[in-house]
A and B are shown apart, each in its own frame.
Chain A
Amino acid sequence: MSTTIEALADDLSAKFGQAIKSKIVDKKIVKIEVGREDITAVAKYLRDNMGWDHVKAVTAIDLSRATKKEDRLEVIYHLGTYSRADCWGLDLAISCRVEKASPRMTSLTDIWPSCEFHEREAFEMFGIVFENHPNLKRLLLPDYWSDIPPLLKDYQPPGR
């Protein structure tokens, strides 16, 4: 484990402290989980003061059939940086858990415009509604789709 990644993890702990609900430090990735009320402030700080200037991917996980079952969805933003040369190979992930019954999440499009299409995909594949998103509509699914979002664990594929 490189010293850079430990320093990064220590920085994050020192700055956000109570806001971080869980933290995972691996070889090339740091993942922190924050609450929905904190995520905008955390994201803004990461962009302005720590140089994480773009979003690589936005994904979600249905935790209802994970090993530790939980009736929630986890939205994960994978951040990348161009301005910090020491963090080029690293990946910082911030995540947030939302209720599965009515998943609502704050959109981070204002902070990183590049997550617009990723959030649209998470919207159609998991049914997560991103508030304040400029153009929240279907991206990949066909227009006549009338089933539940297909990447939820409850979804039954039609098969043959």
Chain B
Amino acid sequence: MLRYAGSVLPIRPKSGLFGLHLTTSKNIVEMVEEREATPLERDRILREDSVGRVDRRREGGELQLITYRFRNFRLIRYLVNWGRMASLFPVHLTTACCSVEFAATHSSRYDPERFGWLPATGSLRQSDVVVVEGTVTSKMAQRVRLIYDQMPDPKWVIAMGACAISGGLYAKDSYNVIQGIDDIVPVDVYVPGCPPRPETLFEGILLLREKILYGRAL
């Protein structure tokens, strides 16, 4: 029932391009293109539904339609999103030095668990949100994408630190650093800093909660 409930658009547009040297990796390119709608499919959806309802899928027939309408009642949607917002399982994925601040955010001084941000001790397949902590090299990019693909569907990404946002210190003249992880995964919240203070990451977590609950940051 909750299969399509999370994402506003099941067909997410790919934002950005790969680094040049990544296009030679066939697996990665295939993995990304898998999530894009083909032009044919897009045209079919546009024809059968309307422009404003591209996100609606009618493959499941009447039952699907009923559940779709049911969970789109404003109260139901609010309650579902409230539940999601209040129990976020992050993935423990450490790529660089921002993980120190990530660990400090989890300490008892800041205690994000009171806002439903649970300890990062679960399986990938039970997780909701991945915090990409810092620099992502082209070798690590494959693993980040694999991890993202293994997570079940309502899922969110926080890009933490300047390197994850835009390459940071390694922008423009590095042979192996991804210039911003929005090349490989869709990002919901950008947390700036080098590295961000725990307060900054905390602000990002609160923004993500708002985004989950209302569909946008207030």
Contact = CB atoms under 8 A, between A and B. Distances in A.
Interface residues on B, range: 10 to 19
Given A142-B138, A150-B175, A158 B20 contact: yes
A159 B138 contact: no
Given A142-B138, A142-B139, A159 B172 contact: yes
B176 interface: yes
A105 B190 CA distance: 48
A146 B176 contact: no
Contacts of B138: 142
A157 B173 contact: yes
Interface string A123-158: 000000000000000000110111100100001011
A155 B173 CA distance: 10
A157 B175 contact: yes
Interface string B175-214: 1100110000000000000000000000000000000000
B176 A150 contact: yes
Contacts of A146: 21, 24
Given A142-B138, A142-B139, A159-B179, A147 B21 contact: yes
B112 interface: no
Tell me which of A141, A145, A158 has the highest count of chain B C-beta atoms within 10 A of its own C-beta. Answer: A158
B25 interface: yes
Chain A interface, >50% SS class: loop
B145 to A, nearest CB: 14
B14 to A, nearest CB: 15
Given A150-B176, A160-B171, A144 B24 contact: yes
A150 B174 CA distance: 9
A150 B175 CA distance: 7
Nearest to B24: A144
B134 interface: no
B172 to A, nearest CB: 4
Nearest to A158: B20
Interface in B62-117: none
A98 to B, nearest CB: 22
B167 interface: yes
B175 A160 contact: no
A160 B167 contact: yes
Given A142-B138, A142-B139, A150-B176, A158 B19 contact: yes
Nearest to A147: B21
Contacts of A141: 176
Given A159-B179, A160-B167, A145 B172 contact: no
Contact of B25 (A144, A159, A160): A144
Interface in B155-181: 167, 171-176, 179-180
A147 B139 CA distance: 15
Interface string A88-123: 000000000000000000000000000000000000
Nearest first, the 5 closest Cβ-Cβ pairs linking A and B are A158-B20, A150-B175, A160-B179, A159-B172, A144-B24
28 contacts: A142-B21, A142-B25, A142-B138, A142-B139, A142-B176, A144-B21, A144-B24, A144-B25, A145-B21, A146-B21, A146-B24, A147-B21, A147-B175, A150-B175, A150-B176, A155-B175, A157-B172, A157-B173, A157-B175, A158-B20, A158-B21, A158-B175, A160-B19, A160-B167, A160-B171, A160-B172, A160-B179, A160-B180
